[in-house]
Amino acid sequence: MSLIQVRDIHKVFGRKADKAVEMLKEGQDRESVEAATGTTPAVIDASFDVERGEIFVVMGLSGSGKSTLVRCLNLIHRPTSGQVVIDGIDIGTLSPAELRALRSEKISMVFQHFGLFPHRTVLDNAMWGLEVRQVPMNERRTRALEALRLVGLDGWEDSYPGELSGGMQQRVGLARALATDADILLMDEAFSALDPLIRSEMQEQLVNLQQELQKTIVFITHDLNEAMYLGDRIAMMKDGRIVQIGTAEEILQDPANDYVEAFVQDVDRSRVLTASAVMEEPIATILRREGPKAALKHMRERQITALFVVDPNRRLIGAALDDDVIAAVRSGSGKLDDILHYDVLTVSPDTPLVDLLIPAAESRLPLAVVEDGRLVGVIPRVTLLAALGGSHRDAMEDQNAAVATATPSTGVE
């Protein structure tokens, strides 16, 4: 079962909130409901699940309701309708004391402007969650110090937040959230207030921490690159509604509507997309035992100039080029081994496209995508260029169908 289950939640601000939800459920649009009831629908009909250990990013522009949505997950905002189920418990049914216990034990939060207590030291800030839970002083200290060490702030425990830089302040915020050892981390635009350089540093740190800690993270951001970098899955929000949920690749390759499409246009695809997303079926392959004559036949039939040579388990052995094959056939050699090129450039499926450019430029062959020694796909240069240019899967597939046989050969002079 998913750790967090969000079911049809609406959050409407204003006196006639219930009436507004009713109208929204009847299918009226946000503007007319706003006009008719004088309310502000911030979140409309949001449903999603977050799996244990996942980084789930909610992405949207300001006013899209994303910050309200994340506050519904720990009931800082109580949804006007709908359910939030955490670890099997509908948190809307909890008593105030139970809710406080849930917040101090299961869910912690990191804030955009850090939300630190300026009158308390870094250590006292980090201890807050434990202090609230009345953990004994010794343990409080040990755990807070451990959390500060995790985020790289050891030695700063007696400073005040005002004495630290923005990046360091947010580390305190992160340490405060980690100290309670909650399973769920809500991060509301946690890095948005930081300088670009510090921001990417923090993003990397979060990814590293996540590998170690395996928290369930709901991360709010308005920065698509950040969303794509951090998110295992991304929910795109617009005007209070979730318009698409999917992995970064799914959203880039197959935007649900024009809004998402327009949005993802500016994304640096080369960093988000990986080899596995753009690679194609390896067609130009031949088994090693088939020999030069068979190779020549393949090349002629498919009008290509090179073949990847594999063993029966599709393990990549090398590549054969047309001139070598013709020479071998003339000399009457029965084996491919003598003419194989073993220096084929291979990449792994999770290599980002940006790291494929130089190999692609240097290689005469399409890039071979290899996983555990097996050839799982090839990336001809044209495919790489098309992917960077932002053509969608559909367009690319049409294109591929048209030039199916020609494409693999474009990598070869």
Please report whether residue 180 would count as binding other proteins according to CB under 8 A. yes
Q: How far apart are CA 157 and CA 120, in angstroms?
A: 10
Shortest Cβ 132–other proteins spacing (Å): 5
Among 25, 78, 113, 335, binds other proteins (CB under 8 A): 113
**Do the Cβ atoms of 321 and 306 come closer than 8 Å?**
yes
CB of 116 to other proteins, least distance (A): 7
C-beta of 110: minimal distance to other proteins in Å?
Answer: 9
Contact region with other proteins (CB under 8 A), list: 126-134, 197-205, 335-343, 386-394: 126-134
306 vs 320: CA distance, rounded Å: 6
d(C-alpha 376, C-alpha 369), whole Å:
6
Q: Does 170 bind other proteins (CB under 8 A)?
A: no
Q: Do residues 83 and 92 lie in contact, with contact meaning Cβ atoms separated by under 8 Å?
A: yes
Q: Segment near other proteins (CB under 8 A), from 9-17, 106-114, 211-219, 246-254?
A: 106-114
Q: Are 86 and 165 within 8 A, CB to CB?
A: no
Could you give the angle at which helices 322-331 and 291-302 cross, rounded to 10 degrees? 140
Supply the minimum distance, in Å, between the C-beta of residue 103 and other proteins.
Answer: 4
Using the rule CB under 8 A, is 289 a contact of other proteins?
A: no
Sole residue written with tokens 């090398």: 318
Distance in angstroms (rounded) separating the CA atoms of residues 220 and 217:
10
Residue 90 near other proteins by CB under 8 A: no
Instruction: Write down the residue that tokens 């960077």 correspond to.
Output: 388
If one asks whether residue 132 binds other proteins (CB under 8 A), the answer comes out as yes
Does the footprint of other proteins cover residue 40 (CB under 8 A)?
no
Sheet holding 374-379, edge to edge: 346-347, 367-371, 374-379
DSSP-derived pairing of the beta strands 216-221 and 233-238: unpaired
| 126 is a site residue for other proteins (CB under 8 A) | no
Site for other proteins contains 129 (CB under 8 A): yes
- Of 21 and 177, the one with the shorter C-beta distance to other proteins is 177
Return the residue of 16, 19, 133, 288 that touches other proteins, per CB under 8 A: 133
Least Å distance, CB 187 to other proteins, is 11
Indicate whether 104 belongs to the interface with other proteins (CB under 8 A): yes
Q: Which stretch binds other proteins (CB under 8 A): 140-148, 158-166, 209-217, 268-276?
A: 158-166
The 234-263 contact track toward other proteins, x by CB under 8 A, reads: ------------------------------
Nearer of residues 96 and 312 to other proteins, judged by Cβ: 96
As measured in angstroms, the least distance from the Cβ of 173 to other proteins is: 8
Q: Does 374 bind other proteins (CB under 8 A)?
A: no
Q: Are 294 and 257 in contact (CB under 8 A)?
A: no
Question: Which has the closest alpha carbon to 365: 394, 407, 310?
Answer: 407
In contact, 46 and 114? CB cutoff 8 Å: no
Q: Which is nearer to other proteins, 173 or 411 (CB)?
A: 173
Element (H, E) at 368: strand 367-371
Smallest gap, in angstroms, from Cβ of residue 383 to other proteins?
46
Q: Of the two residues 105 and 223, which places its CB atom closer to other proteins in the complex?
A: 105
Determine if 15 is a binding residue for other proteins (CB under 8 A). Answer: no
Q: Does 137 bind other proteins (CB under 8 A)?
A: no
Minimum CB–partner distance for residue 141 and other proteins (Å): 17
Find the part of the chain contacting other proteins (CB under 8 A) among 9-17, 39-47, 94-102, 339-347: 94-102
What secondary structure does DSSP assign to 150-196, as a single string? HTT-TT-TTS-GGGS-HHHHHHHHHHHHHHTT-SEEEEESTTTTS-H
- Give 304's contacts (C-beta < 8 A, 6+ positions apart): 284, 298, 405, 408, 409, 412
In the sheet that holds 89-90, the strands lie side by side as: 40-50, 4-13, 81-86, 89-90
Stretch in the footprint of other proteins (CB under 8 A) among 71-79, 199-207, 279-287, 330-338: 71-79
- Using CB under 8 A, pick the residue from 63, 83, 87, 101 that binds other proteins: 101
Q: Residue written as tokens 């597939």?
A: 397
Q: Which residues bind other proteins (CB under 8 A)?
A: 71, 74, 76, 99-105, 107-109, 111-119, 128-129, 132-133, 160-163, 176, 180, 186
